Structure 1
Amino acid sequence: MANLLVTGGAGFIGGNFVHFWCRRHPEDTVHVIDSLTYAGNRSTIADLPDCQFHQGDIRDNALMEQLLRDLDIDTVVNFAAESHVDRSISGPDAFIDTNILGTHSLLKAARKVWLEEGVGKAHRFHHVSTDEVYGSLKLDDPAFRETTQYRPNSPYSASKAASDHLVRAYHHTYGLEVTTTNCSNNYGPYQYPEKLIPLFIINALHGRGLPIYGDGRNIRDWLHVEDHCRGIEAAILAGVSGEVYNIGGGQELPNIEVVDRICAGVDEIFEENEKLAERFPNAPPAMNQPTSSLKTFVEDRKGHDHRYAIDETKARDELGYTPSRTFSEGFSATLRWYLSNEGWWRPLIKI
């Protein structure tokens, strides 16, 4: 049995991980800490009565020490982060505070409780990071590997790169047992509607524009969040301390193709279910118009990385990880989830 502390566990990936771990490891005790900023949603894990929730900030070092000590935590899974690139461009300070100072606060607490007070206690500090720390790829460049040089291009990715280096340093300097995973673009249930897929689904349902940066040819590797959770589980259970594992979805797609698939998916599901036109009368298919009519092209984002791609060979060979979903399968399930869970996302948007 393990005692987990999941930081940022009321957010998108963290919340999905809590659901995943509770389902797969019912004998374990799972604690969640989340400061419930705009992207943290208590309702994401409200249906898990055995999951114990604590509202707090990972930058509060005394609180982190207290939780690790009093709850006898042996595994920290660190999802807590500011993660939206656009927000990091307009307001980078929050990214420095949470992603760098917050991670350091956690590491200090783990060192104090596990190493200085609990010598010999088995433990694991798992840090969740992003492929964006590696920078941007050209079309013919090989995919990111764990040995790829860090070249972050936004305040967000720079702050995550710094946190990755801190985790590595605490392992090599103090002997903290750590693993890190760097993932590609996640999508799936419970994603705050500022990211491309949930934003465009919800915009389409309300007849709002679908703004596409530049020419829409920027390429991302798409990873369903449950596949990501499987990769994290494998790293925690089978990963070698001090190692980094890249977790990808194996689904490289230009943004414009993702938008086209969203449009086609919305059109198809309206054709399949006539009642949707009553629920969402402003959606183009409710008025016999294609959802693609909402597409617009806007000025490209500053410092917009052209392409990300993950080579998950190491995770496959050492952890047995492989993604289980194609983008078509994952997106279809995601669209249906948003249509079935309007009560979750409706309070988060302004109409």
Structure 2
Amino acid sequence: MKKYLITGCAGFIGSNFVHYMLKKYPEILLVNLDKLTYAGNLENLKDVEGDPRHVFVQGDICDKELVESLFAKYDFDYVINFAAESHVDRSIKNPEIFVQSNVMGTVNLLQRAKEAWYDADAKTWKEGKKYLQVSTDEVYGALGAEGFFMETTPLCPHSPYSSSKASADMFVMAFHDTYGMPINITRCSNNYGPYQFPEKLIPLMINNVKHHKQLPVYGDGMQIRDWLYVEDHCKAIDMVCNGGKVGEVYNVGGHNERPNIFIVKTIIEQLHDRLKDDGISEDLIKHVADRLGHDRRYGIDPTKIKNDLGWYPETPFEKGIVLTIDWYLDHEEWMEHITSGNYQKYYEEMYKNK
């Protein structure tokens, strides 16, 4: 039985990955570690809480003693690190938190894995072990109108968030280059799908449209992103973890580039037609002051992961956005729970003066 330490398991991508792995593998143990900050939500794992293959631990990836104890108890085969502060606006407001979680937390995981997996006397690593860092295309910076990010593209992050993720990536690679640690790094484009915290574009717009609230769009809304349905991403992570060449970086992209304003208008059109609500229209759009250091375009070339592992994005945006809207319409109670309290306060602080 393969044993995984999954960090950030109650967040958006982490919880989707837990569901994906439990569905795919009958014999597996997932020890799921999450601090349960604003984006970590145990409701994301409610339907698997009774599954003996899933062990939830509340805790911080920066906690040395806790992580050491988990390695000692479970002797993990794999560590997959999803845990990260991930919202760019929050990083602009409070960058120190991002350094602590994204950089120091990653270093702690790496060091604890090294202590558990490396025999210093024999100078060898235990067989079958791997650390996988889930990163982002934002570490590359911004693209012009043409071209794509490749694994060889120099890192050039522009926000405190992307800088913290780039720093973490460099530590992961340093542990490979210095100690020979078996690692992979995946860098994905914008994910969307079930369980995404509603400060991100798609769930934010779905929720606001339903309640006839203004739809805040940064600048002219022509920032272009490559959209990747989260289940396709989960499949890629599984394939890299189990088959990726040690020490390699793999870009994971959806071949679904769309401007932000297109996304917003698509959601308006979909919900107008589904809910038969004439109060849902493009009049809800409000262009607000652009985000500081806002990258204009991201686009990923996933040729390497396709050639090496046979992965490709199976979900075109036109299908994925329908699946996503269906999920949020079917989980209104989940959205109501997550948008109460602290989130509502944060939302007002971010957009009320723009």
TM-score range, shorter chain: over 0.9
Q: Is the CA contact 1:125–1:177 (under 8 Å) kept in the aligned structure 2?
A: yes
2:286 partner amino acid: T
The aligned counterpart of 1:43 is: 43
User: How far apart, CA to CA, are the structure 1 residues paired with 2:330 and 2:86?
Assistant: 26
Could you list the per-position Cα deviations for residues 71-101 of structure 1 after superposition, in whole angstroms to 9, with x for gaps in the alignment? 1211111000000000000111110000000
The aligned counterpart of 1:79 is: 82
Post-superposition, which runs of at least 4 consecutive aligned residues in structure 1 deviate over 3 A?
Answer: 116-119
Task: Kindly report which structure 2 residues correspond to 1:165-180, keeping only aligned pairs within 5 A, or say none.
Answer: 165-180=170-185
Matched, 1:266 2:256: no
User: How far apart, CA to CA, are the structure 2 residues paired with 1:310 and 1:105?
Assistant: 29
User: How far apart, CA to CA, are the structure 1 residues paired with 2:109 and 2:220?
Assistant: 41
Select 2:68's aligned residue among 65, 72, 82. 65
Three-state SS of the structure 1 residue aligned to 2:275 is: helix
2:317 partner amino acid: F
The aligned counterpart of 1:304 is: 294
User: How far apart, CA to CA, are the structure 2 residues paired with 1:119 and 1:77?
Assistant: 18
* Structure 2 spans left out of the alignment, 5+ residues: 345-354
User: How far apart, CA to CA, are the structure 2 residues paired with 1:269 and 1:223?
Assistant: 24
Q: TM-score, normalised by structure 1?
A: 0.93
Select 1:323's aligned residue among 301, 313, 330. 313
Task: Kindly report which structure 2 residues correspond to 1:124-143, keeping only aligned pairs within 5 A, or say none.
Answer: 124-140=130-146, 142-143=147-148
User: How far apart, CA to CA, are the structure 1 residues paired with 2:22 and 2:280?
Assistant: 41
Q: Is the CA contact 1:7–1:77 (under 8 Å) kept in the aligned structure 2?
A: yes
The aligned counterpart of 2:188 is: 183
Q: TM-score, normalised by structure 2?
A: 0.93
Task: Tell me the percent identity.
Answer: 48
2:210 partner amino acid: L
Compute the displacement of 1:268 (Å): 1.6
The aligned counterpart of 2:222 is: 217
User: How far apart, CA to CA, are the structure 1 residues paired with 2:132 and 2:248?
Assistant: 10
Q: Is the CA contact 1:61–1:108 (under 8 Å) kept in the aligned structure 2?
A: no
The aligned counterpart of 1:4 is: 4
The aligned counterpart of 1:249 is: 254
* Structure 1 spans left out of the alignment, 5+ residues: 272-284
Select 2:55's aligned residue among 48, 52, 57. 52
Q: Is the CA contact 1:5–1:30 (under 8 Å) kept in the aligned structure 2?
A: yes
The aligned counterpart of 1:96 is: 99
Three-state SS of the structure 2 residue aligned to 1:179 is: strand
User: How far apart, CA to CA, are the structure 2 residues paired with 1:241 and 1:329?
Assistant: 34
Three-state SS of the structure 1 residue aligned to 2:47 is: coil
User: How far apart, CA to CA, are the structure 2 residues paired with 1:168 and 1:104?
Assistant: 11
Three-state SS of the structure 1 residue aligned to 2:213 is: coil
User: How far apart, CA to CA, are the structure 2 residues paired with 1:345 and 1:240?
Assistant: 39
Compute the displacement of 1:66 (Å): 1.1
The aligned counterpart of 2:234 is: 229
1:293 partner amino acid: D
User: How far apart, CA to CA, are the structure 1 residues paired with 2:254 and 2:19?
Assistant: 20
Q: Is the CA contact 1:266–1:291 (under 8 Å) kept in the aligned structure 2?
A: no
Q: Is the CA contact 1:4–1:31 (under 8 Å) kept in the aligned structure 2?
A: yes
Matched, 1:289 2:294: no
User: How far apart, CA to CA, are the structure 2 residues paired with 1:290 and 1:43?
Assistant: 29
Compute the displacement of 1:122 (Å): 2.3
Could you list the per-position Cα deviations for residues 256-314 of structure 1 after superposition, in whole angstroms to 9, with x for gaps in the alignment? 1111101111112113xxxxxxxxxxxxx2xx234322011111100000000000000
The aligned counterpart of 1:275 is: none
Three-state SS of the structure 2 residue aligned to 1:47 is: helix
2:61 partner amino acid: I
User: How far apart, CA to CA, are the structure 2 residues paired with 1:174 and 1:29?
Assistant: 27
The aligned counterpart of 1:278 is: none
C-alpha RMSD over aligned residues: 1.2
Matched, 1:107 2:113: no
The aligned counterpart of 1:21 is: 21
Aligned residues: 335
Matched, 1:120 2:136: no
Q: 1:119 to 1:130 in 2, by over 3 A?
A: closer
Compute the displacement of 1:120 (Å): 2.6
Could you list the per-position Cα deviations for residues 33-91 of structure 1 after superposition, in whole angstroms to 9, with x for gaps in the alignment? 00000100011112112211000000011211110121121111100000000000011
Three-state SS of the structure 1 residue aligned to 2:287 is: strand
Could you list the per-position Cα deviations for residues 310-343 of structure 1 after superposition, in whole angstroms to 9, with x for gaps in the alignment? 0000010001110001111000010010010112
User: How far apart, CA to CA, are the structure 2 residues paired with 1:219 and 1:136?
Assistant: 10
